[in-house]
Structure formats: C-alpha cells, structure tokens
Amino acid sequence: RKRLLFLQLHNVLLMPLGLSVAYAVHSPRPAVISSRMLWNIVSVPQTLQLLFDVEQR
C-alpha cells in the first residue's frame, strides 16, 4: 500500500511509535524531524517547547 502526503505550513504529522515506514522529506526551508519518538499528551508540549527554543537560537 502506498500513500503520498503533502503537508502545508503549520501542519504536523504524528506517526505511531513502532510504525515501520520508509519516508522521504523535502522542505524548501530547514525542518526538524524526530523519528521513533514517543508522542503522547505528556511529551508533546515539552517537545514543542524544545523545538521552539531551537528555532529561536
């Protein structure tokens, strides 16, 4: 099965932990990708804050 996803500005794609997927990313601007990270109600706000801090540097 194949799927092609196009994300627009400010879109977020959350991939379930343990999902075996081959993917390629193209971005005209620098992007941050975190693979195999546990995203849950506790870690999402902390991770977003970390990404915001990195972007501000």
Give per-residue pLDDT as tens, 1-57.
677 778 787 777 777 666 666 666 666 665 555 555 545 555 677 777 877 888 887
Cβ within 8 Å of residue 13, ≥6 positions away: 5, 7
Q: Based on the structure, what is the number of domains in the chain?
A: 1
The first and second tokens of residue 10, run together, are 């400010």
* Cα–Cα distance measured from residue 23 to residue 13, given in angstroms and rounded to the nearest whole number: 12
Give per-residue pLDDT as tens, 11-24.
777 776 666 666 66
Q: Which pTM value belongs to this model?
A: 0.32
The first and second tokens of residue 11, run together, are 């879109």
DSSP secondary structure letter of residue 9: T
* Cα–Cα distance measured from residue 1 to residue 33, given in angstroms and rounded to the nearest whole number: 23
Domain boundaries, position 40: 1-57
